[in-house]
Each structure stands twice: as C-alpha cells, then as structure tokens.
Amino acid sequence: MKQEDRKILKELAGRIRAIFPDARIWAFGSRARGKAEWDTDLEIYQFGHIRMYYLTIGISPSD
C-alpha cells in the first residue's frame, strides 16, 4: 500500500474507532496491494461486534 493510502486509511480508521472502539478495519483490493491506478477506490471492511459494514471511498489526485 502506498504511503498516501496508508495515511487515508489511518485517518478513516481513527474516525470509525471513535464510534466503534473495538472495530477491526481491513483494506483490500488494488490499493491495498499497491497496484492501483489514480482513479481506483479504497475498499475497506469494518468488522464490529454486531454488524459488518462495507464502505467504498473514492480517492482523487487532489485529495
């Protein structure tokens, strides 16, 4: 995973854990593998104690 993607994931994980302190957050897909193009989204799973959430966030070069 590229450094800028790690920064985004860390920020997002902090926001999620502010609401769900025990959340486990996994990135997957081409950004997690470090093989993304500039217009590829960052895909994560957030595993909580009750529900599993799926969230896709678009990332643009200006972010």
Residue 46 phi, psi (nearest 5): -115, 115
What's the one-letter identity of residue 18? A
Q: What is the largest CA-CA distance in the chain?
A: 35
Q: What is the pTM of this model?
A: 0.66
How is the chain split into domains, by residue range? 3-57
What pLDDT was estimated at residue 17? 85
- pLDDT, tens digit only, all 63 positions of the chain: 889 889 988 988 888 888 888 888 889 989 899 888 888 888 888 776 655 555 555 554 454
Residue 29 DSSP SS3: coil
Query: Rounded to whole angstroms, how far apart are CA atoms 20 and 2?
Result: 26
